[in-house]
A and B are shown apart, each in its own frame.
Chain A
């Protein structure tokens, strides 16, 4: 069974600080996605990374896919209260329509 472990599980930081969230597995994924979920809503896609070593930037968010396509990281620069939410990584299982979701990182940014 493919599993995705995220760390940390909870993170509370002050506005303006930087942070990194990790998503790790012992399995190889075809691609990896990051979603953000706000209270009372479903997850919304932030980014998809496909190639090992790929780096994508979305304003203050930087996403990296590990060289071996087993892990990924999300780095937020100068966090803002609007970044508060649950961050989920999801890996595409090879040859199927199935996605394996990580355990989630709950981020709270204090003003």
Chain B
């Protein structure tokens, strides 16, 4: 059974704190993604990675950075958390065979609240 694990299901942080969200996959997939999900806005891509140490900005990268030191692990970093980063964060991965038909496998999400 394929597995995508996110480090926390719920997280509460204070404004200005540095926040790490971690995602681990056991599918040996090339591509990994970080999205945030907000009501009425769907999923918006923050960053994605198509190989170890490779990353590309998505549609809303401001205030975030990422790290991919190993193939199975993709971390999202909020350098200085702000209240407008309160959201559901979803990690996903895909085999990298081509965007046209790739399935994305999602983790269960981390609901982050920034006070």
The chain A residues found within 8 Å of chain B, CB to CB, are 1, 4, 6, 9, 30-31, 33, 40-45, 48, 50, 88, 90, 92-93, 96-99, 101-104
Chain B proximity of A86: nearest CB distance (Å): 9
The chain B residues found within 8 Å of chain A, CB to CB, are 4, 9, 31, 33, 35, 40-45, 48, 50, 58-59, 90, 92, 94, 96, 99-104, 106-109
Interface of A is mostly: loop
A-B contact pairs, 19 of them (CB 8 A): A30-B100, A33-B103, A42-B106, A42-B107, A43-B43, A48-B101, A50-B100, A88-B43, A93-B99, A96-B99, A97-B31, A97-B50, A97-B94, A99-B45, A99-B99, A101-B43, A103-B40, A103-B42, A104-B40
Q: Name the A residues within 8 Å of B43 (CB-CB).
A: 43, 88, 90, 101
A45 to B4, alpha carbons, bound, how many Å?
Answer: 14
Most interface-central of B9, B58, B100, B109 (chain A CB within 10 A) = B100
Q: Name the A residues within 8 Å of B107 (CB-CB).
A: 42
Chain A to chain B: the 8 pairs with minimum beta-carbon distance, closest first: A42-B106, A101-B43, A92-B99, A101-B42, A31-B100, A103-B42, A30-B100, A45-B103
